[in-house]
Chain A
Amino acid sequence: MAGKKVRILVAKPGLDGHDVGAKVVVRALVDAGFEVIYTGLRQEPERIAVAALEEGVDVIALSILSGSHIPICQRLKELLVRHGIQDRLWIVGGNIPAEDRPKLRALGVDGVFPTGSKLADIVAFIKERVHERAA
């Protein structure tokens, strides 16, 4: 992937308006040298999947704090498969109870970063996993 910047879609699905974390993560990812597309609030899973496809992103990052991460990720999973982009690195951050993390992983979420996660850990995870996939 030399010469090509890793592209990341940061999305706020559902109705949750808590975007402090998503915007902080966007800045951290930009500072780490990634190319970031931020969707803004209230994105339907359909629009997130289409944006991921059209923007040709390598990573899909969702921020959800309302507690509705399971139904939203179930829906998004169907759409990623339908658009043939289920191979993209998929990470989810926000208010995610410990018992839901295996459920998200089973849906194909590669990394879960609950509230309190460090920016450096998110950046390191993306670098490592995108690199592995490219290899």
Chain B
Amino acid sequence: MNVQRKPGPSAVRNESGLEIKPVYTADDVVASRLAEPEGGDGIGLPGEYPFTRGIHPLMYRKQPWTMRQYTGFGNAEDTNRRFKYLIATGNTGLNVAFDLPTQCGLDSDDKMALGEVGRVGMAIDTLKDMEIAFDGIDIEKITVSLTINGSAAILIAMYLATAEKRGFDPKKLRGTAQNDILKEFVGRGTWIFPVEPSIRLVADTIEYCAREAPLYSPVSVCGYHIRESGANPAEEMAYAFAIAKAYIDLVLKRGLKIDEFAYRLSFNFNIFGQLFEQVCKFRAGRRHWAKIVKEDYGATDPRSMWLRMIAGGGGSGLTIEQPENNIVRGAYYALISALSGAQTVALCCYDEAYTIPSEYAQRVSLRTMQILVEEMGLTETVDPLAGSYYVETMTNEMEREIARIMADVERRGGIVSMIANGELQAHVSRQAYLHQQRLESGEFRKVGVNCHRVEEGAPKVEMHPFKSEDTERQVRRLNEVRASRDAGAVAAALAAVSEAARSRRNTMPAIVEAVKSYATVGEITRALEQVFGRYQEPTRF
């Protein structure tokens, strides 16, 4: 038996804990193979079930990955200017960063927003801000991804309303919202409501978009942040799939069929770590997800089985020490994404441990991807690592590990319960602590951190200029909108939001109406909170 589950003390393992042998042969590929429900070797062809090699037959030969750098800061005008800069330099998509008050459902003049307005992203209070943010941008050509979760239902409604006002047909509108609230309870932390109503809102958006904006991706399920919080690569996939299944189960209960919405679910995964482990993670994940959707849910439309993903970021792999080294890391991470068949890539910029990325740093990240596409010959053939003894064996072993972790989650009562009682958070955070200990002991090697160090002066990064008047500027606009809108219509729309929340009906139509009346993010959040209450964080260790 070539698949060793219990390696000896001198075994070399990847981050997911799987043993790496010094040499692989064809025997390892055969011995590690999983039972394939449809027969075959589990490798197959790109564009064909189980999609190990890619979801499209021609992949990058037909179209390179979408380059979608993450950006947003200050107010809507500031961000609109940066959007236009990114598009002018060759970004083919936008990935929007919102400030923390917007993400937490607070208006810019809320007491809790102290010091946070426009800081880590763009401040949005009303539809007015959204209109300004996308002014002059052809959102049919440039697809937009909204990195928003706790308040996602409101921001999706604003985005759809903006598109409609601009004359775009919602039935043709593409784009993505992150809208994965379950992972927010594990990492990232922009939850608002308790777990149950939070996932109901996710189901509301999926159901609403399936009917009203069928090409829009209302959820991007994120292994990304769970990995950043301490999970290993196999856990990253397994937890993301468990979360995606939780959303699917809720939507199925609403009476939709799997093929009516599964094809619009997308995923967001991380790319830092060891190159081959990452590539195998993606190949294994693609195959395993296809099996879940086909075998467990009975999907018949192949598109429902596709693991469509943004594979990007890599923030936790970057270092504050010798920040220029992060440019090199970014290039390897982008290579991982390209070898893994990602649909979309966004790279963390080399200065991100210090600041909101400068235009210069954004351009370096974009050029990194463009060099891969234009110069490196990565787009000519699909899944070039297929057939490697090592890659196929490790793909098999990663899939087995993902399945094992998912079964373990089921045994522990399911992902929703593990998140609600804090068990998953405690597990992931324990791993982050162990990792930090290994980093400090030098067992886990990190260049510039615990080896190959230099005495550094001031870092060569350009700090983002924060203006103290950002908050006042944003609050001024908020007050202008409040003064100019029809107060009676706003009050009625907000009452309708609370009423929809209290009923078992989908809340989205009422939220869309409220948004169109220029109700604020804070007002709509409070209208929901009156019914849903607020999340109380379990702090288990």
List chain A positions with a Cβ less than 8 A from chain B.
14-20, 23-24, 26-28, 30, 38-42, 44, 66-68, 70-72, 75, 95, 97-98, 114-116, 118-120
Contact = CB atoms under 8 A, between A and B. Distances in A.
B408 to A, nearest CB: 22
A15 B100 contact: yes
Nearest to A114: B320
25 contacts: A14-B112, A15-B100, A17-B100, A17-B188, A19-B189, A20-B230, A23-B432, A27-B430, A27-B541, A28-B433, A28-B436, A38-B541, A41-B189, A42-B104, A44-B111, A44-B112, A67-B119, A67-B466, A68-B114, A71-B114, A72-B114, A97-B355, A116-B319, A116-B353, A118-B440
A23 B189 CA distance: 13
Interface string B451-467: 00000001000010010
A27 B433 contact: yes
B113 A15 contact: yes
Contacts of A18: 188-189
Given A26-B541, A98-B458, A75 B188 contact: no
A26 B442 CA distance: 21
A15 B463 CA distance: 22
Nearest to B319: A116
Interface string B91-120: 000000000110110100001111110011
Interface of B: 100-101, 103-104, 106, 111-116, 119-120, 184, 187-190, 228-230, 319-321, 353-355, 429-430, 432-433, 436-437, 440, 449, 458, 463, 466, 537, 539, 541
Nearest to B110: A15
A113 B502 CA distance: 46
B115 A72 contact: yes
A15 B319 CA distance: 24
Contacts of B111: 44
Contacts, number: 96
Nearest to B114: A71
A71 B103 CA distance: 20
B504 to A, nearest CB: 29
Contacts of B229: 20
A71 B114 CA distance: 7
B436 A119 contact: yes
Given A39-B539, A41-B189, 4 more contacts: A16-B189, A17-B189, A38-B539, A67-B119
A9 B430 CA distance: 19
Nearest to A16: B100
A17 B99 CA distance: 12
B425 to A, nearest CB: 8
B346 to A, nearest CB: 18
A28 B440 CA distance: 12
B432 A66 contact: no
Contacts of A38: 539, 541
Which of A15, A20, A23, A115 has the most C-beta atoms of chain B within 10 angstroms of its own C-beta? Answer: A15
A82 to B, nearest CB: 17
Contacts of B114: 14, 68, 71-72, 75
Contacts of B100: 14-17, 66
B282 to A, nearest CB: 23
Nearest to A39: B539
A120 B116 contact: no
A20 B187 contact: yes
Q: Give me the 3 closest cross-chain CB pairs, A-B, nearest first.
A: A17-B189, A68-B115, A71-B115
Contacts of A20: 187, 228-230, 429, 432
A26 B355 CA distance: 25
A44 to B, nearest CB: 7
Which of A17, A97, A115, A119 has the most C-beta atoms of chain B within 10 angstroms of its own C-beta? Answer: A17
B463 to A, nearest CB: 6
B112 A42 contact: yes
A38 B184 CA distance: 19
A14 B187 CA distance: 16
B138 to A, nearest CB: 32
B541 A30 contact: yes
B541 A116 contact: no
A30 B541 CA distance: 10
B93 to A, nearest CB: 25
Contact of A66 (B116, B353, B537, B539): B116
